[in-house]
Structure 1
């Protein structure tokens, strides 16, 4: 009889990295020893009201109390932020303290300001609530933090986010730049546009594709119009599936000047998988995956001039750009392709359940 694992994750109607992760896990996880079921927690639909969200959370609590006893292990997927820690902390208390189930916790995002609050005032409470059997984190700095809070180093492993490899071409154009993310101030969309405008003065062939949507879209469009950048910058809107891979296969360099509390951004993984050189910042798990100069460049600041300098170097050293393309495709498949990730997940589960 197979072990039964319950995975708590967002609805597939939601956009975001965790949703994408588990859409691929549900598609590719195939074990002869472990059966997984997904339970979608949290809000359902972008127009969900506060009241509807509260009702859904209460409904989740009652249903989970009913169904968790049927499982051998509960797999939770919070980020380290106030809302997720409170919600998933309750689910973890129910699973571990109340129902005595084994737990695996994968921390996807990580808010440095909330980390500081826990470090200062709440690490003992956090350790009581999340007394997991094993945790997976997306950055070595996150593991170091959990160890400082009193968790055993042997109970924490470094993992990655995922992508699903698609058909690759060799049509990548070094002068086509890509920003692929939500449009929020801390993701660096405006800095990406300014970077492209700086480069276009010296390299007229430069084009920047802004792929995504979000609250900053009106501001970004206004900036492009006011600075006469319409011939340089193209907004694609939110894209996924084949349309996203067509764009990845067309572009040559990804620029991502993020200041967000990142885990390991899927856009970085997908860009590497398509062979793009990555010019980004050393935040979250990014420096655990990519090496400066080998997979692209890690820029300490978010200053567009600094980003433009690194991109210009690639423009002027195409042999290095070609070498990075080969490196990135190989590394992304080895570390992050979903078929390899689900094998590691199965091993974690079997270690806990055996």
Structure 2
């Protein structure tokens, strides 16, 4: 059986990367061991983080010396601290003769812009020599290819737990619709996630379609300000449910019909995939991995700009055409089950690991 060493953030810390890797853990059939790197919940100072980082390096070297691993899988974001931290582990793994897989999750445009000259050369010397690279959007693959990456680059997806898949929930949702359409904003409540554009679009739709309702699920630094923004405009029928998980998250998704996310930048949020599994039509922007999975007019609508009126118009088209909304619901459910369930994502990763090991064996004398 293959042995994989998976580098992860603290899986008890809320976040997209930790949530994805914790979800995949239930579906691997190969031997995957988890090695925690990055900030821990109890750390509060730079000195503590630096000391822990040195400890992680020593622990990682001892782990590689003590056992044989076929692949080390590293999960950085394209941002300064993660690139420095995980670059060290990539170098150590390669020096130990272990094949490396690098999966870029987050992608900070300001850090990307800083990768020029010697910085880009150093970045390439470390990460371009990985045996395989995974990204969450085709535009990111194109950027790495433009930079001269020679390793195979695959566009992967995030994933949701298979336990969310329930066809009977979709049938109940479709039977329940009687002209009332419920919108869902499910993300961190931040300005850059489009919370204010969402509220403005909702106000426009609500003025013409009084039965429409909005649920905002998530926490964030803009939550209180967004609530005040809605109150100042006297927007009715908004449910602020906060951070949800487990059965409460499933209930929120079951009750919604249209997922709205006017996000400014994005990787590939799991919440969108979960919404698709629950048969929600998606109204968002063509940023990050969203442009790869949302087919305009079939999965929902992709809005090029941030104009709330454009989002309101897309939502009203769905309200006016219930047959189209139902078809999008069924399309998204089927697509999500086939591509984005954690079991499917785990099988794709295992196939990648197998290919790397087989290729290496063929090259050995």
Q: 2:146 aligns with which of 130, 145, 148?
A: 148
Structure 2: distance between partners of 1:20 and 1:285? 17
**TM-score, normalisation: structure 2:** 0.91
Q: Does the 8 A contact of 1:178 with 1:251 survive in 2? A: yes
**Paired position in structure 2 for 1:80:** 78
Structure 1: distance between partners of 2:299 and 2:158? 17
Q: Does the 8 A contact of 2:43 with 2:49 survive in 1? A: no
> Alignment length, in residue pairs?
346
Secondary structure class of the residue paired with 2:4: strand
Structure 2: distance between partners of 1:124 and 1:204? 57
Structure 2: distance between partners of 1:119 and 1:241? 43
> Which has the higher mean CA deviation after the structures are superposed, 10-19 or 51-60?
51-60
The alpha-carbon deviation at position 12 of structure 1 amounts to 1.5
The alpha-carbon deviation at position 54 of structure 1 amounts to 2.4
Secondary structure class of the residue paired with 1:171: helix
Q: 2:317 aligns with which of 313, 318, 329?
A: 313
Cα 1:300–1:120 shift into 2, 3 Å: farther
2:336 is equivalent to residue 332 of structure 1 = yes
Q: Does the 8 A contact of 1:14 with 1:46 survive in 2? A: no
Q: 1:226 aligns with which of 207, 232, 247?
A: 232
Note the 1:189-268 alignment, pairs <5 A: 189-229=195-235, 231-260=236-265, 262-268=266-272
**Paired position in structure 1 for 2:53:** 57
Structure 1: distance between partners of 2:301 and 2:237? 23
The alpha-carbon deviation at position 46 of structure 1 amounts to 7.0
Q: Which runs of 5+ in 1 are unaligned?
A: none
**Paired position in structure 2 for 1:292:** 296
Q: Does the 8 A contact of 1:176 with 1:208 survive in 2? A: yes
**TM-score, normalisation: structure 1:** 0.94
Note the 1:334-353 alignment, pairs <5 A: 334-353=338-357
Note the 1:79-118 alignment, pairs <5 A: 79-96=77-94, 98-118=95-115
Secondary structure class of the residue paired with 1:5: strand
